[in-house]
Structure 1
Amino acid sequence: MNDRPLRVAMVAPPWFELPPRGYGGIEAMCADLTDALVARGHDVTLVAAGRNGTRAHRMLRTYDVPQGRRLGEPLPEVLHSAAAARFLDDLDVDVIHDHTLAGPLLARGHRAPTVVTTHGPLDGEPGEYYRHLGDSVHLVAISHSQRGQAPDLNWAGTVHNALRADDFPYRRDKEDWVFFLGRCTPDKGMHLAIDAAVAAGREIKLAAKCSEPAEHAYFEAEIEPRLGPGVEWLGEVTGDRKKQLLARARCLLFPLRWEEPFGMVMIEAMVCGTPVVTLRRGSVPEVVVDGVTGLVRDDADELPEAIEAVGALDPRDCRDHVVDRFQPETMAAGYEAVYRKVIATATATTTTPAPEIAPAVPPTQEDMLPVA
């Protein structure tokens, strides 16, 4: 059991194809993990929407067209999870790895154990959701910081996210501007990035997804008034353009205002040889080596100085750090260990003999008398 190939059902969200052509961090992670598991000799069945660009042995499609335009609506994921459950009923697999929010609700009905990666924050209602699911699912955190937010949940392990280093360009010589890349939301701190760059006398380029009402509101209130000479708004950038911007920048400026569970953009920057200037929140200390692959500060007022000091860091150290710790092969090895642990636990549970029950004793006449 400890070395035989595993049969894995990988359930991706319904929003973007695998791998995504642009936005879609969870889908990118699912694609990389699927390919790395196949490379390790495992049999992977992918349950997803749209085309299959992975090496999965087979794909079960819930939607012909991914539902990204309806992101935020509940019904596409509910329908996707219901269809996935029907597919899973007919599959002979060792473990189900579900990356959706709705899918784990149906885990109690599956023959195989269900592993769930907690891709988002766990404070408030998300944590309560997983508490209600109890031991019907086996949770995997994407950072120790995230796991520490809710240590009482049914954790099976912690596995960092990863990326394919060969898909990103490495550039040693940097240009004299700083870069912000993320979502147009207050918790990513784009307005703090602008203020820090201006205070440091550096040009800043801003690339962010800004499509939802809350994102538009933040942009109009905090970002648009700050635009002007030296502050350039690029909008959402993807693909090769995003990678080239990451490689050219002096640094990635990432002034978080929340407990970021992982932050893929940090390893995307570092693998390009670009250090990260950020705040000490969430997973940052697990991802960035302070003074080696970036500069981690405790207060936004310290960021301008860090923007100047970051030029002393070696771009090669940034890339080597990602190659050593955040490759899909490393991620797949971590998940394989989780799968085997969970399968062994489920097998032990199902093979444990039931306690003996004493034979029923027929009631006596006295037992059958009515209660006074």
Structure 2
Amino acid sequence: MQRFNEVDSKYPVEIVDKEVMELGPFTVSKYAPADGLTKLNIGSFTNMYHYGWINVDAHDLDKWAKSFSFRFEKSNVLKGLNYPSNSVDLILASHFLEHLDRSDGETFLKDCSRVLKSGGLIRLAVPDTVLICQRYLKGQIKEFGQVNVGVEEASDDAEALFRLLFSGHGTLYDSKSLKATLRRTGFVDIKSKLPFESQSKVIQNQTLPSFPSLSFYVEARKPKPEITITEMKNRKLNIGLLSTRFFGVPPSGYSGLEQIVWNLACELDKMGHKVTLFAPKGSVAPPHGKLVETGEALHSTEVDWFKAEQDAYWTVKDNIGDLDILHGHNWFGFEYLAKLEKPQLKITHTHHGGLNRLNLASLAGVKRLYKLNLVAISDWMADVYASQGFASRRCYNGVDLSAYQFQEEKGERFLFLGRVAPSKAPHIAIEAAKRAGACLDIVGATSFVSDSDYVDRVKQLCDGEKIRFVGEVNHSTKLDYLRNAKGLLIPSTFGEPFGLISIEAMACGTAPIALNDGALKEIIINDESGYICNTVDEMVFRMKNIGSINHKKCRRRAQCFSTKKMTLQYVNRYQNILDGFEW
């Protein structure tokens, strides 16, 4: 008792030593008043029990638990939690998850999600791998001997490290990997917490953190149930979509962001929602929607992006009167200023890339005032935002599959298709093609780039025969290249937020060969719908053996990323926000 007071004298619950309880009358209700909640404390060996909770362990500790008036259930949770779906309010699992391998761990977390009620909270505590390794490197690992007998009895620091991290454990986690695992298993609002801190006052007031000196703590919630398709059809919304100032919607050439806005606008319109599209002059309204022009299309990176977006907002703010929700697809989040005009307006923002210094500062300022309802276009991007302090929900991009004709027969030339910019790295595609002895076409934007010298260097690497520089083409010609390509090379190295071109290629039955960059491994199934390569050497090898890919499997993978699926995800997000489930 004294020891934890030294850790935090303001700890908000009376922690009672079992020896103290044995000295006089003990009433559980004094320490754990009835709150009507179903609370599971899983993997609760004798030093991790809590009053007022159902303490669950695979060991038979019933007799021990009764002697101290704990509620106990013997259960092997790997066979499933013995609770109905949507019946549990809170789950606590302290120093349990690391005893399972990754596969069993994900199975366990999925079952936790099953039994939790909508909005229910799970709190996990696991050994802090980073902290423990840092202590080892500083020669301080033996300090953990006070909380781990194995460390205390170890003959040297190396053995102490082994006993602390590996003995009896199935895996290790750091904060990033644990959060990613929670996200994969369906949890949202994933947050790191201090030992004596929780989103739940119940957890904070009724439980004691286990091994706070060597642990890290993460909490997450089960999301609100997905809206059914029937409910989506019955509830029609008035939605504003705000695009950038750079290209018209739909774009006449290649521009992934504006194409996604167009796909979303048309599918929402088809579903019967009222759509107002805010986009540059020359854009087109969806069939039953409305276009509000935000200024001339800029078609250049050599402009003040912040001012361009600011100028567009003055048009937006005068056309929000009847909107239910405003959905920004821009870079600085000016749409949040609409809250000043219409406080009840709900706003969400899809960021189609990373947060640099300027847009990071912009969104951080908004975050202090409002819920951002930020949407990431991949799990990888959601992890990046989380590391920068922003919660997000993931909605994958989608394409109109009817616009992409499947073709079984392929030509003999590989294809690079994207902006001719260092971030997209066409020079690596050229290197790979030369080493593979393959033919390659470089197709992509050269006007919307910030480094014209790089464009010239790429042109100089092309010989006009085996390696051809094509440059910019219209949408129809782009589709011809995608259908006929032997394979699509994606040599990005900047942290690809999504990789829309990989979907477009697979929709045509063309296999992408990509470096393992950003979100691409979420999109491409390695060895099935394309290849994810860790080196240029591997990319060269895959180019020489691309015939092993089944073109029909490429098309089937693309079908997982249809415009309709994307739009249903967004409508679900809109309705969650309107129902008060914001993030």
Offset, 1:128: 3.9
What is aligned with 1:114?
A: 347
- The SS at the match of 1:186 is coil
**Inter-partner Cα distance in structure 2 for 1:141 and 1:306:** 30
Can you list the C-alpha shifts for 1:231-269, whole angstroms capped at 9, x where unaligned? 100011221111001110110011111110011111111
What is aligned with 1:345?
A: 580
Amino acid corresponding to residue 59 of structure 1 in structure 2: L
What is aligned with 1:327?
A: 562
Name whichever of 168-177 and 210-219 sits farther off: 210-219
Amino acid corresponding to residue 474 of structure 2 in structure 1: T
What is aligned with 2:374?
A: 139
**Inter-partner Cα distance in structure 2 for 1:154 and 1:33:** 24
Check conservation: 1:261, 1:282, Cα contact below 8 A. Answer: yes
Can you list the C-alpha shifts for 1:178-212, whole angstroms capped at 9, x where unaligned? 10011111121211110111111101110121125
Name whichever of 140-149 and 33-42 sits farther off: 33-42
Offset, 1:101: 2.4
Check conservation: 1:127, 1:150, Cα contact below 8 A. Answer: no
**Inter-partner Cα distance in structure 1 for 2:335 and 2:276:** 17
**Are positions 1:227 and 2:462 aligned together?**
yes
What is aligned with 2:329?
A: 99
Q: Alignment partner for residue 360 of structure 2, among 109, 113, 127? A: 127
Name whichever of 328-337 and 21-30 sits farther off: 21-30
**Inter-partner Cα distance in structure 2 for 1:128 and 1:286:** 29
What is aligned with 1:76?
A: 308
**Inter-partner Cα distance in structure 2 for 1:231 and 1:71:** 29
Offset, 1:220: 2.6
**Inter-partner Cα distance in structure 1 for 2:449 and 2:475:** 25
Offset, 1:153: 4.4
- The SS at the match of 1:20 is coil
**Are positions 1:19 and 2:254 aligned together?**
no
Q: Alignment partner for residue 408 of structure 2, among 172, 175, 178? A: 172
Amino acid corresponding to residue 343 of structure 1 in structure 2: L
Amino acid corresponding to residue 78 of structure 1 in structure 2: Q
Q: Alignment partner for residue 250 of structure 1, among 480, 483, 486? A: 486
CA RMSD after TM alignment = 2.2
Amino acid corresponding to residue 224 of structure 1 in structure 2: K
Amino acid corresponding to residue 520 of structure 2 in structure 1: V
Check conservation: 1:138, 1:154, Cα contact below 8 A. Answer: no
**Inter-partner Cα distance in structure 2 for 1:181 and 1:313:** 20
**Are positions 1:4 and 2:240 aligned together?**
no
Can you list the C-alpha shifts for 1:102-127, whole angstroms capped at 9, x where unaligned? 42351432431111001111355443
Name whichever of 108-117 and 314-323 sits farther off: 108-117
TM (norm. structure 1) is: 0.86
**Inter-partner Cα distance in structure 1 for 2:415 and 2:256:** 19
Offset, 1:306: 0.7
Aligned in 2, Cα 1:86/1:153: closer, same or farther, shift over 3 Å? farther
**Inter-partner Cα distance in structure 1 for 2:308 and 2:358:** 21
**Inter-partner Cα distance in structure 2 for 1:17 and 1:261:** 22
**Inter-partner Cα distance in structure 1 for 2:448 and 2:244:** 19
**Inter-partner Cα distance in structure 1 for 2:327 and 2:415:** 35
Name whichever of 178-187 and 106-115 sits farther off: 106-115
Structure 2 runs not aligned, ≥5 long: 1-226
Offset, 1:216: 1.3
Aligned residue-pair number: 343
Rg: which structure is higher?
2
Offset, 1:41: 2.2
**Are positions 1:34 and 2:270 aligned together?**
no
Structure 1 runs not aligned, ≥5 long: 350-372
- The SS at the match of 1:196 is helix
Check conservation: 1:20, 1:28, Cα contact below 8 A. Answer: yes
What is aligned with 2:532?
A: 296
**Inter-partner Cα distance in structure 2 for 1:38 and 1:305:** 45
- The SS at the match of 1:204 is strand
- The SS at the match of 1:150 is helix
TM (norm. structure 2) is: 0.56
**Inter-partner Cα distance in structure 2 for 1:213 and 1:143:** 24
Which of the pair has the greater relative contact order for Cα pairs under 8 Å at 6+ separation?
A: 1
Can you list the C-alpha shifts for 1:123-151, whole angstroms capped at 9, x where unaligned? 55443432222134210000000110121
What is aligned with 1:363?
A: none
Aligned in 2, Cα 1:177/1:38: closer, same or farther, shift over 3 Å? same
**Are positions 1:316 and 2:549 aligned together?**
no
